[in-house]
Amino acid sequence: MKRNKTSKAWLHEHLTDPYVQRANAEGYRARAAYKLMEIDDRDRLLRPGAVVVDLGAAPGSWCQVAVQRCGGGRVFALDLLPVEPIAGVDFLQGDFSENDVLAEFERRLDGSRVDVVLSDMAPNLSGVATVDQARSVMLGELALDFAVSHLRPAGRFLVKVFQGEGFMAFRQEMERRFQSVQVRKPKASRDRSAEVYLLGGQPRA
C-alpha cells in the first residue's frame, strides 16, 4: 500500500512538473533538456561547429539541445539502450567502456578531437543508498576517463554526480585532471535531488 501511494505521488508530481509540461509542449524527450540549456546559457559549452559526445544519451533530450546549438558540428550519442533517431545525431548502441564499442566510436570520429563530453548518466536505482551512490561515482569515473582520452586541449566535460560518499574524492580527481572545475545545480534539478553537475575545463596534459 505504501509503495502504491509513493508511486501515485511520484506520478502526480511528474505530470504537474512545469519542466515536464514544457518538454511535452516544446518537443523535448525529457525535462533534462532544460538542465543542459541552463548550464549552457551560463557557460557556453555548445558552440556552432563543435564536436560533442553525449554518454548515456537515452532518451535523447541532451542530444536534441546539442544539435540545435552546435549548427554545423557533429553530435555523437552512446548508450546501452536504444535511442530513437534524431536528425544530426550519430548514435552508437553499446557500452563505451568496452574495447569494441570504443574502437567503433573512434572509427566514426575519424581522427577528430572532441570539444565537449556530456554525461547525464545515472545508475539503475536499487533502493540501497550506499550501493546506488557507489554506482553513480563509478559511472562518473568511466565518463571522466573517456573525456580525458578524447577531448581537445581546450575541451570541456560536464558530468552528473550525486552528493554523498565518494563525491569529494571524485571532485578532487576532476581537479587533478582538469585545469578548472566548477559545480552547477540548475533550477531544473529538483530541490530534493542530491544531483549536481561538475564542469571541467581544459584537461591537463
Scanning the chain, the segments in alpha helix (DSSP H) are 2-16, 18-26, 33-43, 61-69, 99-109, 129-150, 167-177
If DSSP codes are grouped into helix, strand and coil, which group holds residue 113?
coil
Tell me, rounded to whole angstroms, the distance of Cα 158 from its chain centroid. Answer: 7
What whole-number distance in Å separates Cα of residue 69 and Cα of residue 90?
16
Q: Which residues have a Cβ under 8 Å from the Cβ of 133 and sit 6 or more positions away?
A: 162, 164, 165, 166
* Catalytic residue annotation: 160
Backbone angles phi, psi at 158, to 5 degrees: -115, 125
In one-letter notation, the amino acid at residue 7 is S
